[in-house]
Structure 1
Amino acid sequence: EEVGQSLAGVEEVRAALAGRYGGALRLRIPDQPAPPLYSVSRGTRVRVFVALPVEVEGRVAGVVYLSRTPNNIVKHLYGERGKVTLAAIAIVGGTLLIGLVFLRTVSRPIYGLIERTKRIAAGDREAIKPLDHHGTREMAELSAAFLDMAEKLQARSDSIQTFATHVSHELKSPLTAIQGAAELLRDSGDAMDEAERKRFSDNIVTDAGRLNLLVRRLLELARAENLAPSGESTSLEAALALLPADNRLTVRVEAGGGVGLSISAENAAIVLANLIDNSARHGASLVSISATNATERATVLVSDDGAGISPSNRGKVFEPFFTTRRETGGTGMGLGIVLALLKAHDGTIRLVDSERGTRFEISLPAA
């Protein structure tokens, strides 16, 4: 029935008759039979129409009018199956490669770190060592930071254990003496004369005083080890002015009394008081103090004319509870408090050689 009918009214054909290319994309109507001109359907929902002008000697002599349904996505992919297969292989291979790289650089180090954490938590000291596989640089830094923290915590734990052992020993001696004297007074006090009762009572008072001193020193050490820098500063003369007069010896500032120190006057006074007390307990009659100021740090020298420190004890002087004057009331904690206070202020202290007596060198940030 369509034979002989004109297509000149179709939009794209009109454009071609005017000498222009014409094309259109139209939806198909699925509930109507396809016209004979539309050829065989490809099952798509659209159809493409194209009209091209045919020119002869500069004039449009006719129009070529074509239409067809485009390939659907399945047929197109099937036609490109070789490329699609290669792309799929490349994607799977790339995914596997990324997975292997991720496993080696991230997963394996993380699992290794987890395993080390469990071993360290169980008390295995051998676990505090670098991992066999670090992975990325960030994982290596994380591993190193974690193991460094574990090592410091282990060292801290050992220090606390040693400290607890020392504390137990130091407290046990006076407690045992107090208990023994008290039991003797309870059981045999009536049979003793006044002089014996006074002697045992004096022993109890003396040992109780020693316990009180030990507890005070322990509190001072705990405060020193947990001290946060206050940002205050002082001078040598200002710190010495806070100290009470000590009749046991003479304290003399040789030089640098006005040198600024990045530490509060109270804490500087505690440092100097412990050093002066240490000198007095070792028979010194004179303590000389001098200070010098460099560009960024100040140095303080504290020297005395006492008995000095024997070579065998020089490496032990900063150990908690180490003292050679226990019989005169020494607790062995003074230098430990000094060391903790200076560390809290980015300072150091060391024992230096001296022709006579003892000399300590203190280094602190300059104010």
Structure 2
Amino acid sequence: MAPVRRKWRPTLSMIVFVVLVTVTMLPLIGLFFFRLYENQLIHQTESELIAQTAAIAAIYAREVEADPAARALARPAGSQAPTRDEYRSLAAREQAMRTPVGDYHPIEPSLDLAGDDILPRRPDAREPAKPADPAFLAIGARLAGIVTATQDVTLAGFRILDPNGTVIAGREELGRSLADVEEVATALRGRYGNALRVRISNSPAPPLYSWSRGTGIRVFVAMPVMVDQAVAGVVYASRTPNNIFKHLFAERRKVIFAGLAIALVTALIGFVFARTITRPIHGLIAQTQAIGHGERAQEPPPAHYGTREIASLSQSFHEMAERLSERSAYISTFATHVSHELKSPLTSIQGAAELMKDSSASMSEEQRQRFLGNIIDDTHRLTRLLDRLRELARADNPQMAGSTTLQAVVGLVRDAFPALIITVEGEPESVLGLSPDNALIVLSHLADNAQRHNAKNLRIAARQVNDRLELRVSDDGDGIAASNRGRIFDPFFTTRRESGGTGMGLGIAQSMLRSHDGAIALEPSEAGTAFTIRLPWAGCGGMPA
């Protein structure tokens, strides 16, 4: 026979390992594929630019308020209609603008790598439609020192614009117009403007920088300068966010500790999985293989069962193995007894038949009748034995449906054994959790056993003990010898074989009761024999006897 091809399946340890590795890699997945950390760096950069431009805008506004000529040139907010592109970005940023919180008007960073378009590099400044007013040029000259000092420290680029978008302060592009730049146009209408733009560096970037989008973009913010609800100018700033690898290198100790913590937690989870799931399952597999090879006694039970479910599974497995072992021993012993019980009468029948065949001419009629009587007795014994075997098979696999009262089944026993005086005490209307036929099998064998031991009276006392129904069945017969009390439930053990006993009656009663979650036990008694039957309590009924 060709070997069956086994389909490959992953082991539980492999699945646990893959799950733990995936969980461990989740921070890196979020870092590199979802750009979560890069987005945080962009928010940080925008937040810093907002704070810097807000401070310079406050100084700019005070300069305008102190100069009547410049104050008169401020433009009302929203005096120019936005273009289509400007309106699209304006609607997207409205939520992040000056939402009042008490007496304050905070501006939250709103740029997002996933949601915002990355615009092309900033357009070059153009020639203005008209030159900047001298009043604003003077203000720009006074602010130039502040802008330069701030830029030297923060590394951000700053441009100070007049109400028309012309650069009045900054290291470059003085006198040129940035009014056509999208975020600047938004600020000239009195609203905060921001944008992500492609960054083009004058020097080549390091190789690692190409792994991060953060180094290829630049954050631009445009903060309007408001004086008397009019736009007096714009503070325009830009800066490149920190590179992700540069930032992680700067925080390398924290990153290493975080990685070690994740690895430690992952290893701990793996250890818990191995101890509570994988190892107990492997222990159960080893036990099943040992039992399959007949080595049950050599394989000790697992030291740890892990989870409650695996402990329950292991307990069920051991109970099943115990039942199978008991059943195997029972079948082996039973087969030996059956073969012995069948062999004895068959040998006797065969011997008698052979003698009658060989000695028919010289055998007397008396001898012939005696041999025929032996043959008939042995056939009767075989018939009784086969009847008991059928009853035993029925007891081992009974029909579980149905119930009856004690009084009803006692009436059937009285009809089957009229020579016995059967009395019922206690609760005769107790309901037995057995069908009438199954209950009759149990009590009939006890009555037959009593009658074969010369009993005249059979007494049945019923009472409830907790959740069980207890029946005490006693007789006034010869009793059971002390040497035989431990063997009475063994199959085919009998002291009345000459009177037709098969030694199976009590075994059949015991099997029937076990099948119904009951039990039978021999009790000590001063005279006769007494048995105690325990069954699950089924209540009381009113069935007539």
Q: Structure 2 counterpart of 1:10, which letter? A: V
Cα shift at 1:77: 4.4
2:290 aligned residue: 119
- Distance in 1 (CA, whole Å) between partners of 2:358 and 2:480 is 45
Provide the C-alpha distance between the structure 2 equivalents of 1:58 and 1:363, rounded to a whole number of angstroms: 97
Aligned to 1:150: 321
Match of 1:325 in 2: 496
**Distance between the aligned counterparts of 1:125 and 1:156, measured in 2?**
15
Match of 2:302 in 1: 131
**SS of 2:344's equivalent?**
helix
What's 1:31 paired with?
none
Instruction: Check the 8 A contact 2:491/2:507 in 1, yes or no.
Output: yes
Give 1:186 shift. Answer: 2.6
The question of whether the paired residues in 2 share the 8 Å contact of 1:228 and 1:344 is answered with no
Structure ID, larger Rg: 2
Question: Structure 1 residues 97, 255: CA separation in 2 closer, same or farther (over 3 Å shift)?
Answer: closer
Q: Which residue number in structure 2 is paired with residue 294 of structure 1?
A: 464
* Displacement after TM superposition at 1:69 (Å): 4.6
Q: What letter corresponds to residue 496 of structure 2 in structure 1?
A: R
- Cα distance between partner residues in 2 of 1:80 and 1:227: 76
**Does 2:245 match 1:67?**
no
Distance in 2, matches of 1:104 and 1:224, equals 44
- Taking only aligned residues, the RMSD between alpha carbons, in angstroms, comes to 3.2
Matched residue of 1:294: which SS?
strand
Query: SS in structure 1 opposite 2:361?
Result: helix
Q: Does 1:163 align with 2:343?
A: no
Q: Between Structure 1 and Structure 2, how many residues are aligned?
A: 357
Taking structure 1 as reference, are residues 305 and 17 closer, same or farther at Cα in structure 2, changes over 3 Å only? closer
Measure how far apart 1:220 and its partner are: 0.3
- Note the residue ranges of structure 1 that are not aligned, 5 or more in a row: 29-33
Give 1:20 shift: 4.4
CA distance in 1, matches of 2:426, 2:314: 47
The answer to whether the 8 A contact 2:459-2:474 is kept is: yes
The residue correspondences of 1:37-48 to structure 2 (distance < 5 A) are 44=213, 46-48=217-219
User: 1:261 aligned to 431, 438, 442, which one?
Assistant: 431
Distance 1:27 1:322 in 2: 100
| CA contact 2:427–2:463 (8 Å) conserved in 1 | no
Q: Does 1:218 align with 2:392?
A: no
> For 2:366 and 2:263, how far apart are their aligned partners in 1?
98
1:309 correspondence with 2:480: yes
Deviation at 1:17, TM superposition (A): 4.2
**Distance in 2 separating the partners of 1:14 and 1:312:** 113
Deviation at 1:174, TM superposition (A): 0.9
Tell me the CA shift for residue 251 of structure 1: 2.1
Structure-to-structure mapping, 1:326-341, within 5 angstroms: 326-341=497-512
- Asked whether the equivalents of residues 351 and 361 of structure 1 are also in contact (C-alpha less than 8 Å), the reply is yes
Q: Which residue of 1 aligns with 2:448?
A: 277
Distance 1:346 1:136, change over 3 A: closer
Preserved CA contact (<8 Å) 1:235 1:265:
no
* Structure 2 alignment gaps of length 5 or more: 1-123, 126-172, 540-545
Asked whether the 8 Å contact 2:414–2:420 carries over to 1, the reply is no
Give the alignment of 1:152-231 within 5 angstroms: 152-231=323-402
Deviations 1:266-300 (A, max 9, x none): 2222222212211221122x123233333754443
The aligned residue for residue 33 of structure 2 is none
